[in-house]
Structure 1
Amino acid sequence: MSEPSEVPDEGQFVRPFIITGGRSLPAQADLRLETLVVALDAAEGAAPLAFEHQRIVTLCQEPTTVAHIAEAVGVPLGVAKVLVADLVVGGRLSCSQPAELPLHTLERIRDHVRAL
């Protein structure tokens, strides 16, 4: 007889849909990878937050990108967008888009990538 396969401890992994309450779309649609997110001062004295939300607010004491938040919290990008959007709507975070790159800069990047 073969031995049973090792099953990972289910307590170590939380499914993304549990973290987002089953939602897959953020409440705020304009969040991009490079969107800068920063915690608002009012967020410190407000009601307690769930684990992931609290971790995001702590990370955002300094301006941080959505991509960095996803990596630091250890969740997929879509989940990070949902969580960040929840905090923005709740008045805990503020977000801003970095300035767009000029067209000539984008063309230079494209040319360098093609040269690879």
Structure 2
Amino acid sequence: MMPPEDPERWPEEPAPHPPADGELLDGHAGPMVRPYVMTSGRIEPARGKFDLITLVVASGPEPEGAIGLGPEHLAIIRLCQSVMSVAELTGHLDLPVATVRVMLGDLLDKGFVMMQEPEPEADMHDIRLYKAVIDGLRAL
């Protein structure tokens, strides 16, 4: 379909509504907070190294009135009442993984969560591993 020749006939787009003083808007969700605000601008956890497959579990029930914890921190503690991976937490919270890692570091530092790092991969340069695999295959 061809656009009209006369630019006067084009419908005018409404002017965008500027947000009120410092208010950030998401068209569907309403006001929102940027992830870097949740972490005070930090991009690395204060403690711990959280891979996507690192398992996290709460060390106790959700604390009542814990000072210094935001609603996202409390949501993590609620979700971690059963063991959960960092990837799962990120999906449930709908937050960037870097933000979740920083919050997990805060919770680990304060003793609200425990973590289990993934086991390191086997040394693939060890010839004994290959010989053991070959011997196992021959035994079949």
**TM-score under structure 1 normalisation?**
0.75
Residue in structure 1 matching 2:106, options 82, 86, 89: 86
Paired position in structure 2 for 1:57: 77
Structure whose CA Rg is larger? 2
Greater relative contact order (CA < 8 Å, ≥ 6 in sequence): 1
- Structure 1 runs of 4+ aligned residues shifted over 4 Å read 6-9, 101-104
CA distance in 1 between counterparts of 2:47 and 2:111 reads 13
CA distance in 2 between counterparts of 1:83 and 1:35 reads 14
Paired position in structure 1 for 2:87: 67
**TM-score under structure 2 normalisation?**
0.63
CA distance in 2 between counterparts of 1:102 and 1:7 reads 56
- Counting aligned pairs with the same residue, the percent is 31
> Which has the larger share of helix?
1
How far residue 103 of structure 1 moved from its aligned partner, in angstroms, is 6.2
Paired position in structure 2 for 1:34: 53
Paired position in structure 2 for 1:109: none
Query: How many equivalent residue pairs?
Result: 103
Segments of 5+ residues of structure 1 without an aligned counterpart are 105-116
Q: What amino acid does structure 2 have at the position aligned with 1:20? A: T
CA distance in 1 between counterparts of 2:14 and 2:83 reads 51
Paired position in structure 1 for 2:3: none
